Amino acid sequence: MRLGRESDNVEDRRGLGIPIMAGGGIGAVVLALVAMFFGIDPRAVLSPGQAPATARSGAPSAAPTDAEGVFVSKVLADTEDTWTTIFHDDLGRQYEPPKLVLFSGGVESACGMGQTASGPFYCPNDHRVYIDLEFYQELKDRFQAPGDFAQAYVIAHEVGHHVQTLIGTMDQVDSRRAHSSRGAANALSVETELQADCYAGVWANRAQKMRNILEPGELEQALNAASAIGDDRIQKQTTGRVNPDSFTHGSSEQRVHWFKEGWSSGDMKRCDTFASLGG
């Protein structure tokens, strides 16, 4: 990828890992595996008695200096530049960029505890994206989805959730979920996640047109990643069975479709997954 500046909005909390208490049983492990791929709202996987924590104050915010941290910072900066333009040109609004927190082991967020096993996530309560970079090794080795643009897609998906928060989609989903059955709530989650995939595609389209960020073959890396982490493939790999009623992020086919929709159009209006899926 051809990336420019680094972001000023990265908080490097690696090395301050919070020990994770043992327990929870195999159900919690399976839930974490299903949740880990690209940003399920951590409020949905907190234990019943686990109250959301407040964000840690006074956390170090020095810019990362290692190659992986710098790469993440540059991707975040590109999303900032791209969404600033999209919000101005398409919505007539000012974009407010999220913070991105690098952590190792565990981390406190305004949505509760996050941990490496739960993968990257976005917390709407503090407008932060959280990621342990060990996740990228898992993406490469276990799910055979390597490449810079596959990694950038992870960040762009989480930023897509931030966009949903800024324009009010997250509040609407939360309101509907509060009065929904479990099945309907899962369907809302799928629609929300697929829209974030579509927004990731919108970012890629506009960034490519403005700055020509992609090298030949890199688009396929993101499509491969989207396919690799569909609910059907994750369930098949972890349990040997596929239960569409329990999907929270969408099938491989759906995730690829909606990323392609954003990529081909570059238009947020084409990302209405709620209408398309009957939500």
**SS3 of 245, please?**
helix
Residue 119 CB contacts under 8 Å (≥ 6 apart), including other chains: 35, 36, 37, 38, 39, 135
| pLDDT(61) > 70 | no
Q: Are 33 and 238 in contact (CB under 8 A)?
A: yes
Distance in angstroms (rounded) separating the CA atoms of residues 10 and 38: 19
Distance in angstroms (rounded) separating the CA atoms of residues 142 and 33: 12
- Rounded (5°) CA angle 48-166-149: 90
| Most distant pair of Cα atoms in the chain: their distance | 49
Quick: pLDDT tens for 105-114.
Answer: 888 899 888 8
> So what's the pLDDT on residue 183?
79
Quick: pLDDT tens for 261-277.
Answer: 999 999 999 999 988 65
Q: Which of 182, 198, 195, 175 is nearest to 243 (CA)?
A: 182
